[in-house]
Structure 1
Amino acid sequence: MTKATAKKVCTTLCPPVDLSGEASWTDFDAPALVGESLRFVSGEPDGNRFRVRYYRDGEQQLKARIWFGPETEGPPGHAHGGSMAAVFDEVLGLAAWAAGYSIVVGNLNVSFRNLLPLQQVVTLESRVISAEGRKIMVHGRICSGETVYAEGECLCITIVKK
C-alpha cells in the first residue's frame, strides 16, 4: 500500500478505535499534567496518524493504548520505526512527569524486535527504573499479548528551575 493509497483508504475506512485498557487500569489525563506538549503524537485523537489513550496500572506506572494509523507507514503495511520512536519519546517522558519529575528527554534508545502492523491497537508499558540526582531512567516496551514490537530506554534530565 502506498502512502497516497493509505491516506485515501484511511479517509473512508478508518473507523473509531477501541483504546480501552485493562479492568485494573485507571484513566490518566496526560494533557492536564503537561498541556499542549503532547501535540505531536496525541494531538489528533481521531486522526489517521496516531490515536492514544493513557492509563495508570495498580502500581501507578503509566500505560498507553496506541493505534498506529496508515499515516505512520514505513515498510509496506507496517509502522515506521521513527513513528515508534516518537511514541516512546512522548510516553516515556510522560511517565517521568507522571512520577513527579519535571524533565526533558536527554537520550532515547529504541530496539526494534518485530514489524508492527498498521491499524492495530498495542500497549506501551512504562516503568521508572531509577532516579539519581538529575537523571531519571525510564524503560518501556510496545507489545500486544506475547509479541514485543520494540523496547525503549530513556534517560530523562530534570529541569533546573531558575
Structure 2
Amino acid sequence: MEKQEKNTEVCPPVDLSGEAGWTPFDAPSLVGASLRFVSGEPDGNRYRVRYYKDDAEQLRARIWFGPETEGPPGHAHGGAMAAVLDEVLGLAAWAAGHSIVVGNLNVSFRNLLPLEQVVTVESEVVSAQGRKVMVHGRICLGETVFAEAECLCITIRDK
C-alpha cells in the first residue's frame, strides 16, 4: 500500500475581522490553554478562530475551517462543526460568568460548509436555572445556516 504524505504547507492568512459593534474578546483565556481543542492552533490548517463580544455582550466568533477539517470532498466534516459549536457555546457560558462543562450538545446540520471560508458562530445564553445553563448557537454566513445547536451546560460545583 502506498503511503500518502501529509501536506505540510500552511494556508495563507485569513481575515477574521468582526463586525461593527463587536469587541475583541479573549474567550479561551477563561478556561486555560489545555481546553483549546479548536482555538489552540491559531495559524494552522485546521481551524482559525477569533472571538468577540457583540453590543448585547453575547459571544461571537469568526472561524475559518481549513483543509484539515474536511469531511465530504471540499466541505467541513460534521464532527469539525460540532467541535466548534462545543467550544464556542461552552465559552459563551463562561463569558457570561458561569463556570461550566458541557452536559449535552444537540447539533442540527442544515447545509454543507465549504472549506477555507470564514463563517460566523453566533451564541446566546438563553437561560440559567440552578446548575443548568442553556446556550443556543449557529454557524452561518449571511443568511445561510450551516448548523444550529442547543447546548445544556452544567455548572461546576465549588471545590
TM-score, normalised via structure 1 length: 0.92
The aligned amino acid for 2:74 is G
Show CA shifts across 1:33-85 (max 9, x none): 21114421001100000000000000000000000000000000000000000
Map residues 17-56 of structure 1 onto 2, 5 A cutoff. Answer: 17-56=14-53
- Please state if 1:160 is matched with 2:157: yes
Q: Secondary structure at the match of 2:38?
A: helix
Q: Secondary structure at the match of 1:24?
A: coil
Structure 2 distance, partners of 1:112, 1:130, is 23
* 1:133 alignment counterpart: 130
Q: Size of the alignment, in residue pairs?
A: 156
* 2:85 alignment counterpart: 88
Q: Secondary structure at the match of 1:88?
A: helix
Structure 2 distance, partners of 1:16, 1:115, is 23
> Structure 2: any 5+ residue segments left out of the alignment?
none
Root-mean-square deviation (CA, aligned residues, Å) is 1.3
The aligned amino acid for 2:86 is D
More helix by proportion, 1 or 2? 1
1:32 positional shift: 2.5
1:111 positional shift: 0.1
TM-score, normalised via structure 2 length: 0.94
> Structure 1: any 5+ residue segments left out of the alignment?
none
2:145 maps to which of 125, 144, 148: 148
Q: Aligned residues: percent identity? A: 81
